[in-house]
Amino acid sequence: MMGFLLLLAASAFAADAQAPQALRSERIDRLVENSMAQGLIAGGVVLVGNSRDVLFERAYGKVSAQPDARPMSLDTVFDIASLTKVVATTPAVLKLAEEGRLSLVAPVAKFLPEFAGKGKDELLVMHLLTHTSGLDDFSLAASDPLKSAVEGAANQKIHGETGSRFKYADINFILLGEIVRRVSGTGLDQYAQAALFAPLGMNDTVFKPTLERSERCSLTLGDHVLYQGVVQDSLCRQLGGVAGHAGVFSTVHDLARFCRMMLNEGEADGKRVLSERAVRQMTAPYFSRGGAVVRGLGWDMASPFSSPRGKGFSEISFGHTGYSGSSLWLDPAEDIFVIFLTARLDYRKIKEFSQLRSELSSITAELFGNRVPPCAGAMGRSDDSP
């Protein structure tokens, strides 16, 4: 009789333990499935984790809206677009700084001599990382796009005051990618692979995916063309598929490895990939527009592009978005991160897509974080340029 009662109690405990997980799943499922029903996305992958474990992961829908599209899966490879800036380019720059091969407060002209004598002596590497360079995007020449990017930026008139004017612009990270190439003596793709992706075990994270990986890719839409395994961003395609602002393809599990490394201040599985100082530099707040915009080095914290911050993550949380439909947001105070990778469909519905990202993060913070009250003043506007 006693054994029967113990078994009954154990069964009741197990049912109680499963109930919160079922509730969590139900709320996230409903949000993502509604976004598919509204035509925002064909499908996607959500992963919530902390510095130690995966707390929730699920794939939804399909890799495109095509009738014969494959089901989305946890090993689907995504064009992560502007997440390239924070997963590859920014940590590559910080790694080179760690190695003493460049300085964040050095003039850009030290590494790109094309800038010498062009009235940009005050333009520093950190201004490129924080989008406070005063440079704006422009079209690249078809014949030699990289040369036209560097020389065009060098000859461009600075808009506003360097260091205080915030303007999100891909040219900043195109230049940073070229700085990595010149300083390291190898391409950004090769340096990121050797210094970051391989040590982290991010085996499916690459520029220019192979045919095998391309077959596992979610599709993207650009200029009325569907791309699979080819980067969506037109400037990156011009630059040969490797650039500082876009071009990386990855999976949700690889990105989770990266997020855990960031939450563990540069360490992953007992291996140090970045120094604690480098991670703290990346995620320290840098203020512009009179304090109205807060960015890290590469990372977003509170700006017009912070919709994935939602309501509930702390003021020291950080993340980034990608135009293809990717985003990630990390909160060291709550020891939590959320990754959302999608097959985005209607790029005109900017406000709705930003709201989707915001709601997912708000649910994540409420269900998996340590605090229930929303963060006062959390920003999450509808501008979704990255």
Domain enclosing residue 241, as ranges:
33-83+188-368
**pLDDT at 22 (0 to 100):** 60
Residue 67 has pLDDT above 50, yes or no: yes
381 part of a folded domain: no
**pLDDT at 370 (0 to 100):** 73
- Number of Cβ within 10 Å of residue 142's Cβ equals 8
307 part of a folded domain: yes
142 part of a folded domain: no
The pLDDT confidence band at residue 20, using thresholds 50, 70 and 90, is: low
Q: What's the domain count of the chain?
A: 1
How far, CA to CA in Å, does 154 sit from each of 102, 113, 114, 144, 150? 19, 9, 6, 15, 6
pLDDT in tens, 273-331: 999 999 999 999 999 988 899 999 999 999 999 999 999 999 999 999 999 999 999 99
CATH number for the domain spanning 332: value is 3.40.710.10
Beta strands, E only, the chain: 41-49, 54-61, 78-79, 206-207, 220-222, 225-227, 248-250, 267-268, 271-272, 286-288, 293-295, 300-302, 318-322, 326-331, 336-344
302 part of a folded domain: yes
155 part of a folded domain: no
pLDDT in tens, 348-383: 999 999 999 999 999 999 999 875 333 333 333 334
- What sign does the CA torsion over 70, 73, 77, 82 have? positive
127 part of a folded domain: no
pLDDT in tens, 114-171: 999 999 999 999 999 999 999 999 999 999 999 999 999 999 999 999 999 999 999 9
pLDDT in tens, 80-127: 999 999 999 999 999 999 999 999 999 999 999 999 999 999 999 999
165 part of a folded domain: no
